[in-house]
A and B are shown apart, each in its own frame.
Chain A
Amino acid sequence: MNERRTAINLGLTWLLVATGLRVTLLAPEVCPPLSADGALAAAGAAAEWIAVNQSPDGTFLYEIDRVTGAPSGGYNLVRHAGTTMSLYQVVRHGDPADADRLLAAADLALGSMLDRVVPTADGASAWGDDGADLKLGAAALLAVSLLDRRAITADITHDGLLVKLGRFMAGQQLADGSMLDAWDRATAAPDPAVRSRYATGEALWALALLHETLPGEGFDRVAWRTLDYLSTRRDEVEGLSPRPWPDQWAAYSLEAMGDWGLEDHHIAYARALSGQFGVGIRWDSQRSGIGTVTHPPEPRGAGFGTVLEGSSMLQRLATDDLRLADLADPLADRVVCGAARLAAAQTTGDGAGPTEAGAWFRDGITRMDDQQHAASAMLWTAALIARSGP
């Protein structure tokens, strides 16, 4: 081959490679600006959506199609507990102007849970609908809600219930640290057949926070067993993928237990989780222009919110633990970038009705946990930006 033809071949190769990569793997990562105030405003608007669309019985608007205006028929008690928790988080960490109203909404939702608390075993309690099995995740997020409320109001009247919820969660634990998701009312015992990829981490986090607030109940020993399980065996035993399964509740737990003396395998797990979350945020940040086609799917508030929640918690852990120090800055970059993109996707403006303003829609549909997870993520991002300075 002569020199001219060789040069033309090289040029064509470059054209193909450069163009192909630029619209796929090397699509630019686009990160709009976001201030701490902007993140807090997004969290506040999400909390507003939750509170405005609450029913007098304490339940929230579960899901709605903005095109038809029709709400869906279902409801999920674990998500109810999680959404209540996020309202308390916004009041506690978000400094909203209408804190009293949001607190009242959270208390109303809390009341609907407290009305359904039932004893399960000696000194243990959980909550759920009459006749239905009791869920580990629902108990865990009720416990976290109560802990946030306790921090806001200094009201300790529910401390007895907190201990009972902790005992219920401990009772769902197996010897290897895994957790059973359901408590069967018919057998009055944990159902050995039901596990949840979410509830184990939720319970671990709740147990860790319970130990921080009410030490002496032994919840730390329960938490260590489950953290070991999540760090080393969970994905294989429960057949989860990708591995490690990007579990933001585990990230919350690692952050909560960060000063308990994490071992190297916990740190390795935190590092691997950080990678999963980081890649998710990078992938989404490449969704602009033609990148919207080459980087599917469009994330929903709940899914992307959990990625940001997990990343935020691991960023805090990386700031405090020298073994992860190299991840602190990259994680901070990813969190702020991802949160900025999420904030930009929030429905705002005067034209938005009460079922739209403050919400995140995908394919015209929003569900209450879209607002729950996005609000939490915005709170932690605001704190991160504030810590980092202007």
Chain B
Amino acid sequence: MNQPLVAVLAVLAAWNPPAAAGIMGMPSRPRLVGLGIAAGVGILLAVLGEWVIDLLGVSAPTFRTASGVVVAATGSAHLVRRPPRPVEGDGITGGVIAGLGPGPVFAATAAGADAGWWIAALCVGAAAATWWWAARIGRSNAVTAWLIRSIGAVAVLAGVVMTIDGASTV
């Protein structure tokens, strides 16, 4: 089981760029600012992953177990729910919201500890860039729904693997 690879997959899948793009809608300037804030927080958590885990007073495997549960739950939601609709309005909240859910936050923090801070930060940046790109090209309902569910399935898988790994590591 390649722990860093699973951690990286979990970040990308928990962010689920097409779902995030669906929540954000067309990328106005405030929404892009919101996206930037979400990405910044994600990168910060990736960089400070080990510190955050220490602050919580738990070991890395314990945090990995919990993160796996959260990532799998996030993926399950994407798998079974209808594709998200854009948040009404034009404020930054619509940009922030998709990147600051428990799934992306836990995945970024766990990846920071398991895959190394710069790899995790790079992944968060890549997920945010893909999110922005997906928002720019707009939506095609059938394809988007398929993509969101597929990425959700990857998140479920990555979350389960993380949980098992965390629960069988010293």
Q: CB within 8 Å of B: which residues of A?
A: 1-4, 6-7, 10, 13-14, 17-18, 21, 25-30, 272, 274-279, 282, 286, 327, 330-331, 333-334
Q: Tell me if B66 and A3 are in contact (CB < 8 A).
A: no
Give the nearest-CB partner of A18 in chain B. Answer: B102
- Assembled-state Cα–Cα distance A6/B85 (Å): 12
Give the nearest-CB partner of B95 in chain A. Answer: A3
Chain A proximity mask over B64-89: 1 for CB below 8 Å, otherwise 0: 01100110000000000000010111
Neighbour of A17 across the interface among B56, B63, B102, CB < 8 A: B102
With a 10 A CB-CB cut-off, give which of B70, B91, B101, B170 has the most chain A CB atoms.
B170
18 contacts between A and B (CB under 8 A): A2-B87, A6-B87, A6-B97, A14-B102, A21-B69, A25-B62, A25-B66, A26-B62, A26-B66, A28-B56, A29-B58, A29-B62, A277-B170, A278-B61, A279-B167, A327-B170, A330-B169, A330-B170
Contacts of B140 in A (CB 8 A): none
Q: Tell me if B167 and A3 are in contact (CB < 8 A).
A: no
Q: B168 near A: Cβ within 8 Å?
A: yes
A32 vs chain B, min Cβ distance (A):
13
Neighbour of B168 across the interface among A21, A279, A333, A334, CB < 8 A: A279
Contacts of A2 in B (CB 8 A): 87-89
The 8 closest A-B pairs by CB, nearest first: A278-B170, A28-B57, A3-B93, A25-B66, A275-B168, A330-B170, A17-B102, A2-B88
Q: What 6 new A-B contacts, CB under 8 Å, besides A6-B94, A282-B62?
A: A3-B93, A21-B66, A28-B56, A275-B168, A279-B168, A279-B170
Q: B48 near A: Cβ within 8 Å?
A: no
B21 vs chain A, min Cβ distance (A):
15
A311 vs chain B, min Cβ distance (A):
8
- Assembled-state Cα–Cα distance A274/B170 (Å): 6
Contacts of A14 in B (CB 8 A): 102
Give the nearest-CB partner of B56 in chain A. Answer: A26
Q: Tell me if A29 and B57 are in contact (CB < 8 A).
A: yes
- Assembled-state Cα–Cα distance A275/B66 (Å): 17
Q: Tell me if B93 and A26 are in contact (CB < 8 A).
A: no
Q: Tell me if B88 and A28 are in contact (CB < 8 A).
A: no
B90 vs chain A, min Cβ distance (A):
9
Q: Tell me if A3 and B168 are in contact (CB < 8 A).
A: no
Q: Tell me if A331 and B170 are in contact (CB < 8 A).
A: yes
Give the nearest-CB partner of A6 in chain B. Answer: B87
Neighbour of B59 across the interface among A13, A29, A327, CB < 8 A: A29
Q: Tell me if B97 and A10 are in contact (CB < 8 A).
A: yes
Query: Assuming the A-B contacts A25-B65, A29-B62, are A334 and B56 also in contact, with contact meaning beta carbons closer than 8 angstroms in the complex?
Result: no
Query: Assuming the A-B contacts A25-B65, A29-B57, are A7 and B97 also in contact, with contact meaning beta carbons closer than 8 angstroms in the complex?
Result: yes
- Assembled-state Cα–Cα distance A26/B64 (Å): 10
Q: B100 near A: Cβ within 8 Å?
A: yes
Contacts of B63 in A (CB 8 A): 26
Contacts of B169 in A (CB 8 A): 275, 278-279, 330
Contacts of B88 in A (CB 8 A): 1-3
Q: Tell me if B87 and A13 are in contact (CB < 8 A).
A: no
Contacts of B170 in A (CB 8 A): 274-275, 277-279, 327, 330-331, 334
B94 vs chain A, min Cβ distance (A):
6
Q: Tell me if B101 and A3 are in contact (CB < 8 A).
A: no
Give the nearest-CB partner of B105 in chain A. Answer: A14
Contacts of B167 in A (CB 8 A): 279
- Assembled-state Cα–Cα distance A30/B59 (Å): 11
- Assembled-state Cα–Cα distance A18/B100 (Å): 13
Chain A proximity mask over B149-170: 1 for CB below 8 Å, otherwise 0: 0000000000000000001111
Query: Assuming the A-B contacts A2-B88, A275-B170, are A282 and B59 also in contact, with contact meaning beta carbons closer than 8 angstroms in the complex?
Result: yes
Q: Tell me if B58 and A28 are in contact (CB < 8 A).
A: yes
Contacts of A7 in B (CB 8 A): 93, 97
Contacts of B91 in A (CB 8 A): 3
Q: Tell me if B89 and A272 are in contact (CB < 8 A).
A: no
Q: Tell me if B62 and A13 are in contact (CB < 8 A).
A: no
Give the nearest-CB partner of A278 in chain B. Answer: B170
Q: Tell me if A10 and B101 are in contact (CB < 8 A).
A: yes
Give the nearest-CB partner of B30 in chain A. Answer: A3
- Assembled-state Cα–Cα distance A244/B85 (Å): 47
Q: Tell me if B168 and A26 are in contact (CB < 8 A).
A: no
- Assembled-state Cα–Cα distance A330/B168 (Å): 13
Contacts of A327 in B (CB 8 A): 170
Contacts of B69 in A (CB 8 A): 21, 25
- Assembled-state Cα–Cα distance A286/B63 (Å): 12
Q: Tell me if B87 and A10 are in contact (CB < 8 A).
A: no
A135 vs chain B, min Cβ distance (A):
32
Neighbour of B89 across the interface among A3, A21, A29, CB < 8 A: A3
